[in-house]
Structure 1
Amino acid sequence: MSNDGAFTYNGGKVDPGETQNIRYGISETYLGDPVRIPVTIINGSRPGPTAFLSAAAHGDELNGIEVVREVAHDWDLSNLAGTLVCMPVLNVPGFLAQQRYLPIYDRDLNRSFPGRQGSTSAKRMAYQIYTNFIEPCDFGIDLHTSTRGRSNMLHVRADMADAGTHRLALAFGTNVIIDSEGPDGTLRGEATADEVPTITIEMGEAHRFQRELIDEALRGVESVFAEYEMLDETTVRWPGWRTIITGDHEKTWIRADVGGIVDMHHDRGALVHEGDVICTITNPFKDDDISVSAPFTGLMVGILENPVVYPGNPLCHLVELGGQTKRVVELKRGSTSQEG
């Protein structure tokens, strides 16, 4: 943000009270045509923080795209305090190919931040995104889904040791926060290290829009805007119960020990107790059922959607619930599984 309140990027600026929809060039194709990402910048007429919303750093993760588009183009932001940078599709080449990674040498854009000029294609792209639209911000929300064939309940991933990120993660108002540093090269990890607190939102599965999760994420964004006083007549959300999964909690991807066809007995977000059968794995003749049981009581944050496995393939992501939180969840859910 410049001293006069304008949001500046390489090649332009957005003055207070102005909105711009731009297609910003970050690379070129094999034919020399520009690779451009869509960016909407809303600079409010009132002073306030600068925030970014981003999605589709992995090109096949679509739920977040609709969240960012609806905030930028369907919400009434006429009285916005501060500036909002909306980037619905970071990985345009992957989005066009409907695949997770950049088609160029199969690079992961979300392991390439903050990027570097004169480096790989992925890092050059990441550099353009990061320096123009991430570094000027005060905080950010990066939206993801699970990878192909798996599905996540909506939850936050955040470095809760960072005070700014801690505030942001709580404000989003999810039941589950997984406390971890972002891996090297991730948008949230690198931005947080550069004092731009950033959280990752995980929600649903790749290759589709899931309306109930999109709506839930929109409520989270609205709650964040209330926390930072960016919109009037909004309130910070309390999700009813909350657990922060730290290094002291048990958490694991439960993996198949045999190959076969999976019958999953619980949905994402289900509470399962130690010893409960999570799923059974059978052969094509259904004459050899193998039961897979929960090793501890916890929430199924992520589950397999593609019902076939090799030995070693993940079946579900289980995270431990503390005693008090477990009792609250049991009371609210009547000890039955339901979607998060």
Structure 2
Amino acid sequence: MDEAEPFTYDGGRVDPGETQNVRYTVSETYLGDPVRMPVTIINGERPGPTGFLSAAAHGDELNGIEVVREVAHEWDLGELAGTLVCLPVLNVPAFLAQERYLPIYDRDLNRSFPGDPESTSAKRMAHRVFRNFVAPCDFGLDFHTSTRGRTNTLHVRADMDDGPVARVAKAFASNVIISSEGPSGSLRREASRMDTPTITIEMGEAHRFQRPLIDSALDSVRSVLAEFGMLDTEVVRWPGWRTVIENHDEKTWIRADAGGLVDMHHERGGLVYEDEIICTIANPFKTDSTTVRAPFTGLLVGVLENPLVYPGNPLCHLVHLDERTLRALERSREEPVFSANPEHPPAR
């Protein structure tokens, strides 16, 4: 039987059976003081794969921070097989400023991976994170939220044409998976290209903890760890219903054609039918209004939170539901069901 191995990074080593909380230097301030990223590494006594959980690549996206912290510091991981690398705050400067992007030149850390030690500040930081804590892993879960002023239902973004990535995505057991490689420089795309299959989890809105979403994500993290044999628990591959969005014509951002104040008629995660009114936009006097209708039957995976728009501003993100998925969703909202076996979903 193979023996558990130490996890090593520049300047440190975590032996089997050991947990370390590290403040790892990723950059420096204008005063030359170190910028330190919190990292918790749990190396189980039993051999197994290595996975990473990351959050706050955008500094104002907080839901994932709580997911990663709870796994690292509240779960009983005494029987863990393998190693968990927990990165609750990737973008420390943006987190401290409570901004989305790095305050230095407004750069997006999540377009800077795998990084470059001789390039911009963002790419240098990305390089240190990627080389030490991402590249050594066998899979990864990267948690995000919507940008400020909007909110997302919990869903996965993953390249479903990549078999190892699809395995992670299915084990996470979300109802909605949007399939794509991801933007160039994003953590999930660059990690997956370098043999660390990684998915993005979108959940909720910026600047807050949303407990129901956090709890749901924690259940799915447990399912992924079970899939890779790291925890002895059930894998929930089938969440009752699922839609995988693979084509551009199966999803759309619906944008405002008029400026004004928005009355949204549906919440995040709402089901809307073709030609149903999603929202209305009116001027301050309510003397002129515009109705916005669904171009097809689908699920609102993202909706506006800030009710003020200019023409062209996004109102909602709608993904298509085929007839079979629609019926399964309608039934699940009457009586939610779950199955651990993707080949045998619950009978109706």
Residue equivalent to 1:78: 78
For 1:288 and 1:249, how far apart are their aligned partners in 2? 31
Residue equivalent to 2:254: 254
Kindly indicate whether the alpha-carbon contact (under 8 Å) linking 1:151 and 1:303 is maintained by their aligned counterparts in 2: yes
Please give the per-residue CA displacement for 1:249-285, whole angstroms capped at 9, x wherever unaligned: 5211000000000000001111100000000001111
Could you list the runs of 5+ residues in structure 2 that have no partner in the other structure? 335-348
For the residue of structure 2 that corresponds to 1:274, the secondary structure is: coil
Counterpart residue identity of residue 58, structure 2: H
Mean CA deviation greater in 80-89 or 286-295 = 286-295
For 1:280 and 1:179, how far apart are their aligned partners in 2? 30
Residue equivalent to 1:217: 217
Number of aligned positions between the proteins:
332
The Cα of 1:50 is off from its aligned counterpart by 0.1
TM-score normalised by the chain length of structure 1: 0.96
Please give the per-residue CA displacement for 1:230-265, whole angstroms capped at 9, x wherever unaligned: 112344353111111111652110000000000000
Alignment of 1:312 onto 2:312:
yes
For 1:116 and 1:93, how far apart are their aligned partners in 2? 18
Please give the per-residue CA displacement for 1:106-135, whole angstroms capped at 9, x wherever unaligned: 000000000001100000000000000000
Kindly indicate whether the alpha-carbon contact (under 8 Å) linking 2:4 and 2:47 is maintained by their aligned counterparts in 1: no
Kindly indicate whether the alpha-carbon contact (under 8 Å) linking 1:54 and 1:89 is maintained by their aligned counterparts in 2: yes
Residue equivalent to 2:128: 128
For 1:248 and 1:229, how far apart are their aligned partners in 2? 35
Please show how residues 146-161 of structure 1 align to structure 2 within 5 Å: 146-161=146-161
Please give the per-residue CA displacement for 1:173-219, whole angstroms capped at 9, x wherever unaligned: 10000011011000000000001000000000000000000001001
Please show how residues 216-235 of structure 1 align to structure 2 within 5 Å: 216-235=216-235
Residue equivalent to 2:163: 163
For the residue of structure 2 that corresponds to 1:224, the secondary structure is: helix
Mean CA deviation greater in 248-257 or 112-121 = 248-257
TM-score normalised by the chain length of structure 2: 0.94
Residue equivalent to 1:202: 202
Kindly indicate whether the alpha-carbon contact (under 8 Å) linking 2:151 and 2:303 is maintained by their aligned counterparts in 1: yes
Residue equivalent to 2:145: 145
For 2:177 and 2:13, how far apart are their aligned partners in 1? 36
For 2:217 and 2:36, how far apart are their aligned partners in 1? 26
Counterpart residue identity of residue 130, structure 1: F
The Cα of 1:140 is off from its aligned counterpart by 0.2
Residue equivalent to 2:266: 266
For 2:274 and 2:4, how far apart are their aligned partners in 1? 59
The Cα of 1:331 is off from its aligned counterpart by 2.4
Kindly indicate whether the alpha-carbon contact (under 8 Å) linking 1:253 and 1:316 is maintained by their aligned counterparts in 2: yes
Identity over aligned pairs, percent: 72
For the residue of structure 1 that corresponds to 2:165, the secondary structure is: helix
Please give the per-residue CA displacement for 1:88-109, whole angstroms capped at 9, x wherever unaligned: 0000000000000000000000
For 2:4 and 2:264, how far apart are their aligned partners in 1? 57
For the residue of structure 2 that corresponds to 1:119, the secondary structure is: coil
Residue equivalent to 2:19: 19
Kindly indicate whether the alpha-carbon contact (under 8 Å) linking 1:220 and 1:237 is maintained by their aligned counterparts in 2: no
For the residue of structure 1 that corresponds to 2:137, the secondary structure is: coil
Residue equivalent to 1:184: 184
Alignment of 1:276 onto 2:276:
yes
Counterpart residue identity of residue 91, structure 2: N
Residue equivalent to 2:106: 106
Mean CA deviation greater in 248-257 or 219-228 = 248-257
The Cα of 1:322 is off from its aligned counterpart by 1.0
For the residue of structure 2 that corresponds to 1:22, the secondary structure is: strand
Kindly indicate whether the alpha-carbon contact (under 8 Å) linking 2:222 and 2:233 is maintained by their aligned counterparts in 1: no
Alignment of 1:87 onto 2:87:
yes
Could you list the runs of 5+ residues in structure 1 that have no partner in the other structure? 335-340
For 1:66 and 1:28, how far apart are their aligned partners in 2? 26
For 2:67 and 2:308, how far apart are their aligned partners in 1? 31
Kindly indicate whether the alpha-carbon contact (under 8 Å) linking 2:4 and 2:46 is maintained by their aligned counterparts in 1: no
For 1:92 and 1:250, how far apart are their aligned partners in 2? 36
The Cα of 1:332 is off from its aligned counterpart by 2.5
Kindly indicate whether the alpha-carbon contact (under 8 Å) linking 2:255 and 2:311 is maintained by their aligned counterparts in 1: yes
